[in-house]
Amino acid sequence: MKTDLAVLAERPDRAEQALTLAVNEARLGHSMQALTTLQQALNWGTDRQQLARLLMDNALPGLGRATAMARTHSASNVTSASPPRTMKRLFHGQARQQQDPPAADCLLPSDHLQLIRRSLATPLPATQRRETAHTQSGSQTRDQDRSKSAQDRPKTAAQPKISPSSARANTPKAGPQATSSVGGRAPANTSAATHPQTQPAEQNALPLFHAQLEHNGQSQPLPFYTEHPEGFQDQQAEGLSYQTPSGKPAYLVTNPSGAFDKAPGTAPFSLAPNRIYRLRAQIPCDQCQAPILWVFDYSRSGKVHKHSYPSEAGAAEVVFRTSADHHRAAFAIRIAGKGRLHPDQIQFRLSSGAEAEQRYLDSQLERTESALKKAQAKQQKQTLAQLEDFVRLQTYMGQDIILPPMHGWPISPDVGLLLIKQIAAQHYQAVVEFGSGVSTLIIARALQRTAATHKRALSPLLTFEHLDHYYAETQAHLAAAGLQGQVNFVLAPLSPYHAANGEVYPYYDVQPHLCALSRQLKSDARILVLVDGPPGSTRTQARYPALPVLLDNLVTASKFDIVMDDYFRNDERAIVHQWETLLQQRCLQFTRTEYLEFEKQACILTIQCS
């Protein structure tokens, strides 16, 4: 039996006629046609009670008990029987009291039944119900209502048909006001504040299943949606089996969109801003990776705060504080791989008050204690590593040179070893240093030993310092080590540097000295540069001028290796990114190497000038 839905579209009773047609198609085995017709009936405004009544009276007669249960649910919105089991009886004939014709055994596939049962379980918003309520004996009233509705309702064009291959993906979806679904339980009646009006963008969302949420002393259904329903299969009493694509994580979310990147237009529950909540969940799962419970807190500006906790033996708990500008919230279950959920056993308990606040304080203390332990372990490991590097440095410098302290402002021992390795591995024609100290001593010694090892001329070291007392202190260390003659040490007070970006920086007066060094070098010179000054107290991003003054004055250089110390600071990272922008503007190639494991972190920017 095949009837064009465009014909029904012109009828005033099109919703009921479409339901009758869907039942007949299902009994004749035309499963995909039945699903398409049922979808159109839902689009035309039928509600759950009307659909359930027609299926009971026309498709499977004799189910008096199921009919009574459905009518009880229609009157009070509460039923003591499990709606999913009722739906199973409707479509699978597990409680038949009369002999059905053989054609009745031609039923819809289980995955389509799952969608239909969810549609049955989901009441549509009042604005969508175009048919007036029916009573058991009110046929005359029903005819009058249809006549009136036909006069008021404008004629609509024929609805497009849904192809069998896309029927599931295009199934009209019900919003989070649903009161039961596959595997869910019968909900208690809740207020309008608990079930806000569904927005048009989300009113067709179809939940995969309903869990139970206990909140403020009331029990209510909690719908869960997914962006990938094709990965799930309802196995009735055995649960809801799933297999995520390529084993990647999938999320079951209370957002009708099935995603969590944006706030939902509505939510099945409401939370207060800046309040502490405790969410406990039971998520039974067989043969699966442990699900992870997520809470998403959305502000009116769209910002999302996330809280998560893995489940253990099916139990999970999250204690969280909503943001001050809280607008909506959503819960999610993260799953991966293969497994089986039991929706009728999934339960959530949401509470606030003194108990939640105490649990929140306990969790904060636990996190603080854990963070302190991790920080202590990291610090111990870092301290041991620095001690080892200092011993290596002292051994390299020799017995006649005593290194000054290397904690606080000076470079760390790991950076000192990095400079030695760079000088030993590369044939630098010169080294430039912005900011003096123990690094000056290490570089001078490394240049000396490398020149002696390779029997070549000593490469010049040009160092700039702007403070008198540091200049004098470094001079004394160089003299004690017998290295003062190997360093062109310049006391260069800070003077205004006008950068091309319009900023003015207090920076070393270096131009005449860099130009003089450039004249000494060949056109293919490779230069090592250490940027360890001026200090950040002079201004934000105080070390930015280092690169532009090098490029503008050391014109004979073909390659720079620029070492940025203190790379753990935001200022130094921002400077490196600004340097990269400048190099792109000048069409110069570069590579960046980061040393994030160092005590204060470091970065080498290698620039090819020619």
Smallest Cα–Cα separation from 256: which of 298, 210, 207, 199?
Answer: 207
Rounded Cα distance between 526 and 562, Å, is 11
Pair 279, 348: CB distance under 8 Å: yes
Q: What is the pLDDT of residue 51?
A: 61
- Which of 61-65, 74-78, 97-101 bottoms out in mean pLDDT, i.e. has the lowest? 61-65
SS3 of 542-593: CCCCHHHHHHHHCCCEEEEEEEEECCCCHHHHHHHHHHHHHHHHCCCEEEEE
Residue-level pLDDT at 314: 92
Assign 530 to helix, strand or coil. Answer: strand
pLDDT given at position 363 = 85
Q: Where is pLDDT greater, at 610 or 150?
A: 610
Residue 255 backbone phi and psi in degrees, to 5: -70, 130
Calculate the alpha carbon distances from 246 to 142, 273, 319, 340 in Å.
Answer: 52, 39, 32, 17
What tokens appear for 26 in the block? Answer: 């299902």
pTM of the complete model beyond 0.85: no
Buried/exposed code over 523-557 (b: 16+ C-beta within 10 A; e: otherwise): eebbbbbbbbbbeeeebeebbbbbbbbbbebbebb
318 within 8 A of 279, measured Cβ to Cβ: yes
Number of residues written out for the chain: 610
Q: Find the helix or strand (DSSP H, E) in which 86 lies.
A: helix 83-92
* Average pLDDT for the chain: 76
Write out pLDDT tens, residues 184-195: 433 333 333 333
| Residues linked to residue 211 through DSSP beta bridges, in sequence order | 222
CA dihedral 145, 150, 154, 159 (to 10 degrees): 100
Q: What are phi and psi of 85, to 5 degrees?
A: -65, -35
Sorted by sequence, the CB contacts under 8 Å of residue 391 that are 6+ apart come out as none
Which residue in this structure is represented by tokens 């054609």? 103
> DSSP letters along 206-275, please?
--SEEEEEEETTEEEEEEEB-S-GGGEEE-GGG-EEEE-GGG--EEEESSTTS--SS--S--SS---TT-
Per-residue confidence band for 89, with pLDDT thresholds at 50, 70 and 90: very low
| Higher-confidence position of 236 and 322 | 322
* In 435-578, beta strands by DSSP E: 461-465, 487-491, 494-498, 504-508, 525-531, 557-565
Give the tokens for residue 293: 């419970």
Residue 558 has pLDDT above 80, yes or no: yes
Q: How far is CA 40 from CA 8, 147, 156, in A?
A: 10, 21, 13
Residue 225 to residue 265: CA distance in whole angstroms: 14
Which pLDDT band holds residue 49 (cuts at 50, 70, 90)?
Answer: low
Q: Are 513 and 462 in contact (CB under 8 A)?
A: yes
d(CA 459, CA 446): 10
Interval 395-447: pLDDT, tens: 999 988 888 888 778 899 999 999 999 999 998 999 999 999 999 999 999 99
Pull the structure tokens for residue 160.
């497009």
End-to-end CA distance of the chain: 79
Residue 498 pLDDT > 90: yes
pLDDT digits (tens, 9 = 90+) for 236-286: 778 899 998 887 899 999 999 888 888 888 888 999 999 999 999 999 998
What's 55's DSSP letter?
I
